[in-house]
Structure 1
Amino acid sequence: MTRRSSDSPAPSKTARKAAPRPPCGPDFGREAALLSAGARHVAGIDEAGRGPLAGPVVAAAVILDPARMPNGLNDSKKLVMEERERLFAEILASACVGFASASALEIDRFNIRGATLLAMRRALQALGQQPCHVLVDGRDLPPRLSCPGTAVISGDALSLSIAAASIVAKVARDRMMRRACPAYDGYGFSRHMGYGTAEHLAAIERLGPCPIHRLSFRPLRADLLDAAE
């Protein structure tokens, strides 16, 4: 047995702490526990597009097949566009998927939280199968769910089903914004997807808002209030 000599310094509290665990990706543990408890289908739900100044918020619901899960599933924010596009196609080919959106008008009417929950409920209704339980990214569950659910903070980094939903929602929304770009020329939606980049803010200053801008968001709301005074 190795002994510490009397003149060796005692290890500090910092030294005695366990080394930090390397970050790991999402897993199927929550889903497996629910399936073992008797659930036939477990869906993950996530959204994309809470923060932009323009465009819809898009939500997706995904029921993964445990025997056919695509390799490389992860939080969409940790994937490059090419990886998201590949996984989007593989998820659609191997899983049960539903996705839906809430428009900029609905965001202005219900606020972004309410519109996000509305899009999530619509995505769940768009699934071809009825899940027995849903795992929802974030702190909130959509109201009037047709099955029990669990809110999972940072769920896209913890649950494979939620990670898959984050990929579907992100790719679907990006495609919507790219399709909107020619209809609203001059804003550059295909480059910034509606986020408040310098290019986008300059276009709003130059052209004013268009029909897919969220007029309840700053700086659009502040500009409208200033114009009304």
Structure 2
Amino acid sequence: MSVLILAVAAGAVVGLALGALGGGGSVLAVPALIYLLGFTPAAATTASLFIVAATSATALYAHARAGHVRWKAGTAFAAAGIVPAALAGSAAARIPQPVLISAFAVIAALAAVQMLRPASAAGPAPTVRPLKAGGAGAGLGAVTGLLGVGGGFLAVPALVTVLAFEMQAAVGTSLLVITVNSLASLFTRAGGAAGLDWAVVAPFTGAAILGAWDGKRLAAKVSGAGLRRVFAVVLLAVAAFMLVDALL
């Protein structure tokens, strides 16, 4: 199978997962780039940041039109992650590949476990603590910059529990946070981005953007809980494979 067809197919799957699940789908981008398309881990995380930024920005536009983005709070949350995202992005190129792959496998496994957890019952709104919110934003930025993942599976719960957002606003605002953090990390990786194989990255990104729109329609027809369980099992298998590959 040609590299172009693989790139389009992988991008479509990533986009479908993003559109259908709202978070966690971008975690598939890095292993697809490494094991299907032959990217090094450092190049894969850089390419993934571009894919995540473009796809999230497109989805952000749709959520903003629906009124699901809290711009002021989201901008403050994202601002806390800009410096950590930039620093982590700069450090990623100096981390040994087995360590980078192992760290990514752990994050992928955490994303899968988060998806398998049953939704908690709504409770009283928590008290918003600025320091806690800033720490959560900084941590998310560091993860995004280092591993090239969008972090929607981390951002949405953080916005719900730390900033007391309702779910629709958390999903929409998380896209703003993810876009800003991804762009901040990409800025520090400008040299690495210039060396990417754009003949592969561009069609991957385009397919992911189109797939995200189809994913939204899929989510309306299929049980959301069922989709998350299937995706979580696949993600756990990918994480296990990557961890074994890194350690052997």
**TM score, norm. by length of structure 1:** 0.29
State which structure, 1 or 2, has the greater radius of gyration over its C-alpha atoms: 1
**Larger strand fraction of residues:** 1
**Larger helix fraction of residues:** 2
**TM score, norm. by length of structure 2:** 0.27
Which fold has the larger relative contact order, with Cα–Cα distance below 8 Å and residues 6 or more apart in sequence? 2
